[in-house]
Amino acid sequence: SERYNASEVEPRWQDVWESRDIYRADDNSDKPKFYALEMFPYPSGRIHMGHVRNYAMGDVVARYKKAQGFEVLHPMGWDAFGMPAENAAKESGGHPKDWTYGNIDAMRAPMKRLGFALDWSREFATCDEAYYKQQQAIFLKFWEKGLVYRKTAKVNWDPVDNTVLANEQVIDGKGWRSGAVVEQRDMDQWFFKITNYAEELLEGLDTLDRWPEKVRTMQANWIGKSEGLEMRFEGLGEMPDFEIFTTRPDTLFGASFIALSPDHPVVKDLAKNHSDVESFRAECAKIGTTEEAIATAPKLGYDTGLKVKHPFIEGKTLPVWIANFVLMGYGTGAIFGCPAHDQRDLDFARKYHLDVTPVVLPQNESADTYSIVTEAFTGEGTLINSGFLNGLNKADGLSAAISKIEDMGLGKGVTNYRLRDWGVSRQRYWGCPIPVIHCDDCGVLPVPEADLPVALPYDHIDLTIPGNPLDRHPTFKHVNCPACGKPARRETDTLDTFADSSWYFSRFAGGQGNGEPSDKPFDKTSASDWLPVDQYVGGVEHAVLHLLYARFFTRGLRDCGLLDLPNGEPFAGLFTQGMVTHAVYTDEAGKFILPADVDEKDGDLIDLNTGKPVTKGDVIKMSKSKKNVVDPDDIIKTYGADVARWFVLSDSPPDRDVEWTESGVVGAWRFSKKVWALVENIESANPMVVATAAEGPALDLRRFAHKAMDKITAGIEAFRFNTSVAQIYELTNALGKYKQNDDAKMEALGILIRAIAPFMPHLAEECWSKLGGDTLVYEAPWPVIDEAMLVEDSITLPIQVNGKRRSEINVPADMSKNDIEALALADEHVVRLLDGLTIRKVIIVPGRIINIVAN
Ligand code: ANZ
Ligand code: ZN
């Protein structure tokens, strides 16, 4: 028989697809639209198995929707700015731009070789001038709209290299290059006002019912809404009044200290005259700026010796401390500490010997014996030791405390969000330049739109020198003020690359490719027609930042009138796929070995190159550093793209990890041969035939095929591709056993091949054309299920006698209980068993079982 040769068949069909341009999405189509998108790749230089799995999943959806009659948009591009290009250029002495475009070219070919149904006409890279020019225009629109502002904020400062470091360049609190302990410095930075949308971004999560619950929860936590009280404490003596934020005003009677952030204005003032306050601040600054760093650092405090009045207790004062765990960026940067009911406060109080007064009594504790030792009680209970709040529960205590403070004129109930504005300034070269000019006379001005883009200089960039290459570039900085014409200074910060990925999907939807449109970010009508993305697929590592920033951007674009998307949600459906894992192999010295270099000999693993023994370790995510990677190129060469795609989809549910194994791939390869074997001897016929007159085995096959197809469809709809795959196997087996050559077989084959098409499109095209399909299988409609074939017409019922299974009978599905009973009692095994016994009872559970009780 003819052998199925993927390396010949696959490129041949790819040429057909390309020459017919079948994957180009038509903006003006009358069909319902479907936008399928996978998170676009960073051009690191190689396609890895994670990419294959990610894009294969999106491709299943895209092809399935096309078969269902949708006009499908399924584009691809490159998330191309960022640090790795600078690092690579630093090492090689090359240019980040050359490195990036070289990688894109190197990755496009294998990506095309995988045969995804992608509209390549819309391809772009975020580092294309045409793209970042429009991003600069958006930045200016956002600025006009009040969604962009400039303020002083902390940056990571390397005191040896005298430069700002990106977070990624700070490793364990030290500069990546100098190894110096990184300090926090204040610098002017650009921010996107994402907090304007805090409430909308939170509420919108409730409408995203096709998002994973865990992602919605993570975003909700990140936004971190809390209702509480902002109130003023009155300082005594040298201590000025100041505001605190608390979510637990019900515990005010348990307050035993005040803690101010080291960056609180009051502390900064104190530091001017007290050098030990200043040294304490410097010590705190070493911890870093991230919330995790602060949360995990040991608690540090400094007693100022100053006092404030307790708002409720006449004559009581509270000591004012400076504490490293209070963040300036949240609430008011000041708190009251209630050690009995907050673990952080308790740790702090124990360390510095401050009072611990319990004020919330747990349900089954008695007030006389209740005490707090090392564990704070944060649950609900009854208020004690709390004056006018005594006896109240948490909710009543909260509202009573808030009203009282409001009546006293000391504060008001407020809502706070943990969400901070998005700091987008990066002191790096390989990013979108922020289109701003600084003039000594006129201030900070936007670059006039006609002067966009502010293009990155493409000349030798020496990345071995610390600092921002744009800042020391000989010409980039120098520009004339657009207002007064005098020499001025260009902004040298570039935008966080998360900005690039916050609107690329709108450009795909409203762009024709080749840098079009060139006069706006995207065509408003087309983008608004396609959006939201119906199905987005990507890694769960983007659960918060990327997916939140994109939700912010669409709202900003909407409010600037650029996008007609009333609810502002860019992604209606989201799926987060699992990873591709592989065993790690090591040699005797513990060095990692590529799976491709490992061989099995007499049951032992050996290194192909040295013949020495190899140890198999854990199965973990494929990563270059552990060498447990399989190169998609190699797999495609050996087995073909379909097999690689099939395997990553077949073995596990899509949201779980899939372990890459050689045997699994071989299994997938064999399966593709088996499918081909079913059709290779069929002379052209009609794979769209419907065998309505079938009976006997032919009817059984029809039933089997329609039931399988029903489950295959349900599996795709529910993103459980592995269950679809299992049904495809079943149907293939059933067809393998079927010996007649008739319409029922042709119909079942036609169903099978169309079901396979989203997974193994090349094999499916080859089979479809062999079967005589008169369109491409890509253009063939999804099989229509004949509901009548799903109804069981006969069922098998087990018969139990005195609780033991003794026999079974086959009966029509709609047979009455009386008839079933009569048949069961006539069964020859039953007759023999019942000989000499009296039947006491016959219980029939419809569709399930027959029970006979006799003695
Ligand atoms: C007194 C208190 C008593 C608090 C108690 C908690 C328990 P969420 O829910 O996350 O909003 N807090 C306020 N501002 C802070 C800041 N800038 N840095 C560190 N901690 C801060 O948390 C609000 C609670 O976190 C506030 O309520 C405050 O401590 C603390 F039994 O006030 B609480
Ligand atoms: Zn000027």
Q: Which atom of ligand 1 is nearest to the CA of 376?
A: 31
Q: What is the pLDDT of residues 646-676, one digit of tens each?
A: 999 998 899 999 999 989 999 999 999 999 9
Ligand 1 pocket, residue 336 CB under 6 Å = yes
Residue-level pLDDT at 289: 59
Is the CB–ligand 1 distance for residue 245 below 6 Å?
A: yes
Note the pLDDT tens digit of each residue in 558-587.
999 999 999 999 999 999 999 899 999 999
Q: What pLDDT shows up at residue 798?
A: 95
| Long-range CB pairs of 303-309, under 8 A, 24+ apart, other chains included | 303/352, 304/239, 304/270, 304/277, 306/235, 306/236, 306/237, 306/238, 306/239, 307/235, 307/236, 307/237, 307/239, 308/233, 308/234, 308/235, 308/236, 308/239, 308/258, 309/233, 309/234, 309/236
Check pocket membership of 341 for ligand 1, CB cut-off 6 A: yes
251 within ligand 1 shell (Cβ under 6 A): yes
> Which pLDDT score, from 0 to 100, does residue 248 have?
97
Output the DSSP codes for 127-180: TSHHHHHHHHHHHHHHHHTT-EEEEEEEEEEETTTTEEE-GGGEETTEETTT-P
For the whole model, what pTM was predicted? Answer: 0.86
Q: Report d(CA 693, CA 321) in Å as an integer.
A: 88
- Residue 745 has φ and ψ, to the nearest 5°, of -65, -45
Question: What per-residue confidence (pLDDT) applies to 1?
Answer: 46
624 labelled binding-site residue:
yes
Q: What percent of the chain has pLDDT over 90?
A: 85
Distance (Å) from CA 372 to ligand 1 centroid:
19
Q: Is residue 294's pLDDT more than 80?
A: no
Strand ranges, E, within 486-594 = 487-490, 494-495, 535-539, 574-577, 580-586, 592-593
Work out which ligand 1 atom sits closest to the CA atom of 226.
11
Atom of ligand 1 nearest to the CA of 328: 17
pLDDT at position 240: 97
How remote is the CA of residue 456 from the centroid of ligand 2, in Å?
Answer: 23
Closest ligand (CA of 439)? 2
Among 342, 378, 386, which residue has the most ligand 1 atoms within 8 Å of its CB, making it the best to mutate?
Answer: 342
In this predicted structure, the answer to whether residue 393 has a pLDDT above a threshold of 50 is: yes
Q: Is 246 in the pocket of ligand 1 (CB under 6 A)?
A: yes
For a mutational test of ligand 1's pocket, the pick from 222, 227, 245, 289, i.e. the residue with the most ligand atoms closer than 8 A to its C-beta, is 245
Ligand nearest to the CA of 480: 2
Residue 290 confidence (pLDDT): 63
State the amino acid at position 743 in one-letter form: D
222 HSE (CA, 13 A, CB side): 21
According to the model, what pLDDT value does residue 792 have? 77
Ligand 2 center from residue 485 Cα (angstroms) = 6
Ligand 2 geometric centre to CA of 445 (Å): 8
- The mean pLDDT of 638-645, rounded to a whole number, is 97
Q: Which ligand is nearest to the CA of 372?
A: 1
Distance from the alpha carbon of residue 468 to the mean position of ligand 2, in angstroms: 24
**Protein residue closest via CA to atom 25 of ligand 1:** 246
Is pLDDT of 448 > 80?
A: yes
Q: Find the 453 Cα to ligand 2 centroid distance in Å.
A: 20
Q: How far away, in angstroms, is 214 Cα from ligand 1 center? A: 25
User: Residue 126: pLDDT above 90?
Assistant: yes
Separation of alpha carbons 829 and 809, rounded Å: 11
Nearest CA to ligand 1 atom 14: 331
Start-to-end CA span in the chain (Å): 63
Q: Is the CB of 542 under 6 A from ligand 1?
A: no
Ligand with an atom nearest the CA of residue 444? 2
Of the pLDDT bands very low, low, confident and very high (cuts 50, 70, 90), residue 95 is: very high
Using the 8-state DSSP alphabet, how is residue 571 labeled?
B
Pocket lining: 247 vs ligand 1, CB cutoff 6 Å: yes
pLDDT of residue 163: 79
Residue whose CA lies nearest to ligand 1 atom number 31: 341
Condensed to tens digits (0 to 9), the pLDDT of residues 2-14 reads: 589 999 999 999 9
Closest CA to 172 of 297, 328, 300: 297
Q: What's the 657 CA to ligand 2 centre distance in angstroms?
A: 57
**Whose Cα sits closest to atom 7 in ligand 1?**
342
Nearest residue (by CA) to ligand 1, atom 32, is 246
Ligand closest in space to the Cα of 380: 1
Asked whether the predicted pLDDT for residue 336 surpasses 80, the reply is yes
**The pLDDT value given to residue 169:** 78
- Centroid of ligand 1 to alpha carbon of 326 (angstroms): 9
pLDDT tens by residue, 728-746: 999 999 999 999 999 999 9
115 lines ligand 1 (CB under 6 A): no
Residue 195 has pLDDT above 80, yes or no: yes
Could you report the per-residue pLDDT of 678-735, keeping only the tens digit for each?
A: 999 888 789 999 999 889 999 999 999 999 999 999 999 999 999 999 999 999 999 9
pLDDT for 503-543, tens place per residue?
A: 999 999 999 999 999 999 999 999 999 999 999 999 998 99
pLDDT tens for each residue of 51-81: 999 999 999 999 999 999 999 999 999 999 9
CA of 247 to the centre of ligand 1 (A): 6
Ligand 1 proximity of 357 Cβ (cutoff 6 Å): no
Q: Is 229 helix (H, G, I), strand (E, B) or coil?
A: strand
The ipTM estimated for the assembled molecules is 0.91
The 71-73 sheet, strands edge to edge: 71-73, 33-38, 535-539, 574-577
- Please tell me the residue having the least CA distance from ligand 1 atom 28: 246
- With 80 as the cut, is the pLDDT of residue 793 above it? no
Q: Confirm or reject: Cβ of 416 under 6 Å from ligand 1.
A: yes
Q: What is the pLDDT of residues 197-252, one digit of tens each?
A: 999 999 999 999 999 999 999 999 999 999 999 999 999 999 999 999 999 999 99
Q: Which ligand number lies closest to the CA of residue 394?
A: 1
Quote the mean pLDDT of the chain: 94
